Amino acid sequence: MKYSQIKEFYKTIFKSYDNPSLETHIKKLMELDTYLPYSSTFFCVTNTQELKFEYISKNFNSCLGLDAKLLKTQGMRYFWSRIHPEDLEAWLSAMNHLMEFTLSEIDEADRKKTNYTWNYRFKNANDTYVNIIQNTTPLSLDLDNKPIMGLAHYTVLDPKIKMQITASAKLLNDNNEYETIYFNNFSQKLLDQGITNRERDIIRLLVLNNSSKQISEQLNISPHTVDTHRRNILKKLKISSTGELIGMIKSNKNLF
């Protein structure tokens, strides 16, 4: 796929009619970045309208070995050029599906409480394709309440990890717990397609060692309902215990 095609499709997905200012947000992020330790993650403020990065954290270079000034001047076109060619179409499809879902299924009042996650392979300074998991939260919406500015967190993982290309959207509930409202796997599905979004949330919280009572409190459902979901998950995946489920997920993180 030619990058001119990517640009046109990407701009169509995020088409908007205004350009809000994020000067205050960016200033605060720059102040915070000064005190953050070096790690395997970095963050950027993304501007989907002008196809540029308003801010790039200091860890970009330590994570990927690339020059942040080059990313700043060349913008998203440079970033796209380093995504693995085999992942480009799946990534664009994920962007399109997420935006269509947002505009049709998420109430306007909830869009700033939504969190989006997707992944792809990305070429670092050593010409090695590492795995990147991108997690984006909207910072600003346009006149039609379409997310167009975002705070994007990038986690860089070892290239030896085989990951499925997936995309998800989660909505923050009243207990400050993100609940899955959209999930799609753009590669071969390793978890059965019959697993519901609610069941995915329960699996995620089980892996974090939450009890049925704790899960029920976070998801605003009864402990009995949590246990019913647990039994259904085990039945669908044809495994015998919750411990086996947790072990399977922890040893094969690309499953979920």
Least confident of 10-24, 141-155, 191-205, 213-227: 10-24
Query: Which of 229, 227, 169 has its CA nearest to residue 198?
Result: 229
Does 110 share its domain with 135?
A: yes
Boundary residue ending a domain (173, 188, 203): 188
Does 120 share its domain with 237?
A: no
Does 228 share its domain with 182?
A: no
Does 193 share its domain with 82?
A: no
Least confident of 12-21, 80-89, 172-181: 12-21
Does 196 share its domain with 220?
A: yes
Q: Residue 201 belongs to a domain with what CATH number?
A: 1.10.10.10
Does 9 share its domain with 69?
A: yes
pLDDT at 45 over 60: yes
Q: Are 64 and 130 in contact (CB under 8 A)?
A: yes
Task: Say which residue, 21 or 65, is predicted with more confidence.
Answer: 65
Sequence-distant (≥ 6) Cβ neighbours of residue 7 within 8 angstroms: 51, 77
pLDDT at 188 over 70: no
User: How many domains, the chain?
Assistant: 2
Q: What is the mean pLDDT of residues 197-220?
A: 90
**Which residue range(s) make up the domain with 142?**
3-188
Q: What is the per-residue burial (b if ≥16 Cβ within 10 Å, else e) of 171-191?
A: beeeeebbbbbbbbbbeeeeb
Partners of 46 in the β-ladder: 53, 150
Does 92 share its domain with 26?
A: yes
Q: How many residues does the chain have?
A: 256
Does 112 share its domain with 215?
A: no
Residue with tokens 């030896």: 160
Amino acid at 231: R
pLDDT digits (tens, 9 = 90+) for 92-116: 888 888 988 998 999 988 988 999 9
Boundary residue ending a domain (160, 188, 216): 188
Does 37 share its domain with 80?
A: yes
Boundary residue ending a domain (171, 188, 205): 188
Does 29 share its domain with 101?
A: yes
Q: Residue 89 belongs to a domain with what CATH number?
A: 3.30.450.20
Claim: this prediction has a pTM higher than 0.75: no
pLDDT confidence of residue 65: 96
Does 26 share its domain with 99?
A: yes
Does 200 share its domain with 181?
A: no
